[in-house]
């Protein structure tokens, strides 16, 4: 275990008031949180169940939990280490009655949310752009805690008026579906605490010390939640770095850092200056780059991890060559220098950049793990099964009901569903409940009613099995009853594809079992509905399967790399319009892009390689690329530039062939 430096020690030991640790990348902010949890338990006698630590991603919270468990073997029972959204969900789950929600409420993901907005706008000709715009506006309002009524009174442009109206209807429908969306997970607890001081007091008793990582990226509602939970006690430690604020587009407010001083006049500020992650050269590059941004807080950062290698800037002919170069270089270093694959990370600005990279890595048989990209839960088979599970635990979720009613075919036609919908709206009940109402018999032919009821009775029976017996067994039976396997094979382009999709289904069932077991370790009363909600949440937050990432190259966006570190980092696409992103150039928002580049550079411990292409295909056309302005802002004396000015493509080709041949020889030797 590393020894804390005096400043870190000071931050860990200080418990007599609110504390802010403000420091640059790699200075041990996250380590301070981990060590402070151990200190609170071991030295201050606060039981772990009274402590909550909030992280930014599920991955970060998993890692933190692991580290705390090592520091506090056997003493972490009941400790909360979670994301803001998970914490919010736990609060809603425990207080659902006060919020007018029934147990098993659904959490709407991005797709559900968009589907609902599309329905509300009542045009089925997909106007995806408009739906996206309204979705973003609603989300921003929620993060800023603006009610539909307020939104309507502020709305000026026709778009705003439309969105504000949709917002109102959207909220009513969510309530009717017994559902909350992602943003509600924070805002709903905040409102609850405002309206019920007694409930807030209970939670303040439960969370007696709160720690928050990556504080610069909290939005208004998250900040409000922190303030409520902390109350007057000031039992709070937050750590952050204003230079790493990269979520302004999602409502993050780096000014929350300065706001702390206003809200907590007794705030103590500790600054850390030693970086334990990167070589001096990498750190110097990062410091030089970020010095181009204006600074509200003075910070210095130094490292004694050695001077290190120069930073490499590799120019390539086009995107194909760029990806191939990265893949072959990593393979070469792995084979020649025995560097394990998981010591490498490849970072990029946009998810689309990973596609070609994946192709190249596969071609050279370099194992990799992609964080992000197409969500596991966005796959059709997973959506299907999740919809079954959602209706199983929340029969008010009409969205999910409509997805599964004819899956597989039950021959319930659109006109039956339309009449059912009308009847349900009149009676103000869910589609599921409408099926068993006697009045329905006057509206629909007996055969149609019979089909609907057969479905709901069957599902009800599964529900009973779920709660009286083994839920996982009940879910497996459900999958067999509907012969989902047969359906999948029928609807897949090949048997191999069908098999893969069925594997996804079983992966989901397994994940559900694991999640349920883990939840029950802390809370024996936790049921299958909580496990389902947790799974949805994990996916929505960082969209990664909890698969093993040992010995694989890590691929992720710069945004997703926050807080992580890797010995060798490749930063792709160092070009104008990519990094900085075109939209940010147009909006004049270069500072946030510079912070993103700062985050990327400071992930590297030993080596950093930045790559760029001279030409890139865009909308089928070949365009010339300009090197990123951020390259000019780096200390030129520390850069080693390769491939620039080589106008002779033949030379490059020959070189590529040589690398390939040497690699092939190595494979043959193995």
Interaction between residue 189 and ligand ATP (CB under 6 A): no
27 binds, among Mg ion, ligand ATP, none (CB under 5 to 8 A by kind): ligand ATP
Answer for the pair 355, 570: CB distance below 8 angstroms, yes or no.
no
Residue 99 CA to residue 598 CA, distance in Å, equals 42
Name the minimum Å distance from CB 26 to ligand ATP. 4
CA distances for 216 relative to 37, 248, 258, 283, 579, angstroms: 21, 10, 10, 20, 21
- 556: closest CA among 567, 547, 569? 569
- For residues 257 to 276, the per-residue mask of contacts with ligand ATP, x marking binding by CB under 6 A and - elsewhere, is -------------------x
Interaction between residue 563 and Mg ion (CB under 5 A): yes
Residue 117 CA to residue 130 CA, distance in Å, equals 10
* Residue 235 counted as an annotated binding residue: no
- 78: closest CA among 519, 420, 385? 519
Classify residue 65 as left (phi > 0), alpha (psi -120 to 50) or beta.
Answer: alpha
Interaction between residue 280 and ligand ATP (CB under 6 A): no
Active site residue 603: yes
Instruction: Report the residue number, 563 or 643, with the smaller CB distance to Mg ion.
Output: 563
Instruction: Report the residue number, 31 or 557, with the smaller CB distance to ligand ATP.
Output: 31
Interaction between residue 88 and Mg ion (CB under 5 A): no
- 26: closest CA among 283, 224, 212? 283
Instruction: Report the residue number, 28 or 643, with the smaller CB distance to ligand ATP.
Output: 28
Active site residue 30: yes
CA 58 to chain centre: 7
Q: Which of residues 344-403 bind Mg ion (CB under 5 A)?
A: none
- For residues 28 to 57, the per-residue mask of contacts with ligand ATP, x marking binding by CB under 6 A and - elsewhere, is xxxx--------------------------
Residue 170 CA to residue 173 CA, distance in Å, equals 5
Q: Which of residues 592-621 bind ligand ATP (CB under 6 A)?
A: 602
Residue 277 CA to residue 285 CA, distance in Å, equals 14
Span of 4-12, 219-227, 261-269, 465-473 interacting with ligand ATP by CB under 6 A: 4-12
Span of 21-29, 127-135, 192-200, 430-438 interacting with Mg ion by CB under 5 A: 21-29
Q: Which residues of 392-421 are buried (b: 16+ CB within 10 A; e: fewer)?
A: bbbbbbbbbbbbbbebeeeebeeebbebbe
Instruction: Report the residue number, 7 or 315, with the smaller CB distance to ligand ATP.
Output: 7
8 binds, among ligand ATP, Mg ion, none (CB under 5 to 8 A by kind): ligand ATP
Residue 37 CA to residue 52 CA, distance in Å, equals 9
Active site residue 611: no
Alpha helices in 291-439 (DSSP H): 319-337, 354-363, 380-393, 398-404, 414-427, 431-435
Number of residues that bind ligand ATP (CB under 6 A): 19
Instruction: Report the residue number, 304 or 521, with the smaller CB distance to ligand ATP.
Output: 304
Active site residue 113: no
- For residues 22 to 61, the per-residue mask of contacts with Mg ion, x marking binding by CB under 5 A and - elsewhere, is -------xx-------------------------------
Answer for the pair 541, 562: CB distance below 8 angstroms, yes or no.
no
- Among 109, 184, 214, 539, the one annotated catalytic: 214
Instruction: Report the residue number, 6 or 645, with the smaller CB distance to ligand ATP.
Output: 6
Interaction between residue 189 and Mg ion (CB under 5 A): no
Active site residue 98: no
State the catalytic residues.
29-30, 213-214, 244, 603
Binding-site residue set for ATP: 23-30, 277
């Amino acid at each position: 275990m590393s020894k804390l430096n005096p400043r870190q020690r000071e931050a860990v030991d200080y418990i007599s008031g609110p504390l802010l640790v403000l420091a640059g990348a790699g200075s041990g902010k996250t380590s301070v949180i981990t060590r402070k949890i151990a200190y609170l338990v071991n030295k201050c006698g606060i039981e772990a169940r009274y402590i909550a630590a909030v992280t930014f991603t599920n991955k970060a919270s998993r890692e933190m939990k692991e580290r705390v468990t090592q520091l506090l073997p056997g003493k972490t029972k009941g400790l909360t280490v979670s994301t803001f959204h998970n914490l919010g969900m736990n609060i809603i789950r425990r207080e659902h009655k006060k919020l007018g929600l029934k147990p098993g409420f659904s959490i709407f993901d991005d797709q559900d949310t968009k589907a609902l907005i599309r329905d509300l706008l009542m045009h089925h000709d997909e106007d995806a752009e408009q739906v996206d715009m309204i979705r973003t506006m609603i989300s921003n309002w929620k993060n800023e805690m603006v009610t539909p009524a307020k939104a309507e009174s502020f709305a000026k442009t026709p778009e705003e008026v439309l969105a504000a109206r949709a917002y109102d209807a959207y909220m009513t429908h969510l309530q009717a579906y017994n559902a909350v969306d992602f943003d509600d997970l924070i805002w709903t607890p905040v409102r609850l605490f405002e309206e019920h001081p007694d409930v807030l007091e209970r939670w303040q008793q439960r969370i007696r010390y709160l720690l928050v990582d990556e504080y610069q990226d909290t939005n208004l509602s998250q900040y409000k939640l922190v303030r409520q939970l902390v109350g007057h006690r000031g039992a709070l430690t937050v750590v952050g770095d204003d230079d790493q604020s990269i979520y302004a587009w999602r409502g993050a407010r780096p000014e929350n850092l300065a706001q702390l001083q206003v809200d907590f006049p007794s705030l103590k500020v500790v600054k850390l200056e030693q970086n334990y992650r990167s070589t001096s050269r990498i750190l110097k590059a990062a410091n030089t780059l970020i010095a181009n941004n204006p600074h509200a807080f003075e910070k210095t950062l130094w490292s004694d991890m050695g001077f290190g290698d120069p930073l490499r800037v590799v120019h390539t002919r086009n995107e194909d060559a760029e990806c191939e170069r990265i893949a072959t270089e990593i393979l070469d270093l792995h084979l020649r220098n025995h560097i394990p694959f998981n010591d490498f990370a490849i970072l990029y600005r946009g998810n689309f950049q990973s596609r070609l990279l994946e192709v190249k890595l596969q071609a050279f048989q370099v194992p990799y793990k992609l964080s992000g990209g197409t969500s596991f839960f966005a796959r059709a088979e997973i959506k299907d099964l999740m919809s079954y599970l959602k209706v199983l635990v929340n029969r008010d979720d009409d969205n999910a009901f409509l997805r599964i009613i004819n899956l597989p075919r039950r021959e319930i036609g659109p006109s039956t569903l339309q009449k059912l919908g009308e009847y349900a709206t009149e009676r103000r009940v869910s589609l599921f409940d409408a099926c068993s109402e006697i009045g329905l018999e006057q509206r629909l032919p007996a055969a149609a009613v019979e089909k609907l009821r057969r479905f709901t009775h069957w599902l009800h029976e599964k529900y009973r099995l779920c709660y009286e017996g083994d839920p996982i067994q009940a879910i497996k039976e459900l999958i067999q009853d509907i012969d989902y396997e047969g359906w999948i094979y029928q609807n897949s382009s090949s048997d191999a594809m069908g098999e893969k999709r069925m594997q996804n289904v079983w992966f989901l069932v397994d994940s559900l079992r694991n999640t349920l077991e883990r939840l029950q370790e802390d809370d024996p009363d936790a049921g299958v509905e909580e496990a389902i909600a947790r799974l949805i949440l994990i996916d929505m937050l960082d969209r990664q399967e909890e698969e093993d990432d040992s010995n694989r190259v890590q691929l992720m966006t710069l945004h997703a790399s926050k807080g992580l570190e890797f010995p060798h980092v490749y930063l792709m696409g160092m070009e104008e319009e990519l990094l900085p992103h075109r939209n940010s150039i147009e909006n004049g928002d270069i500072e946030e892009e510079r912070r993103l580049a700062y985050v990327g550079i400071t992930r590297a411990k030993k080596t950093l390689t930045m790559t760029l292409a001279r030409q890139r295909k865009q909308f089928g056309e070949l365009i010339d690329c300009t090197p990123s302005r951020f390259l000019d802002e780096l200390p030129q004396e520390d850069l080693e530039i390769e491939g620039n000015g080589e106008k002779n493509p033949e030379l490059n080709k020959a070189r590529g062939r040589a690398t390939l041949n040497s690699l092939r020889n190595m494979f043959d030797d193995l």
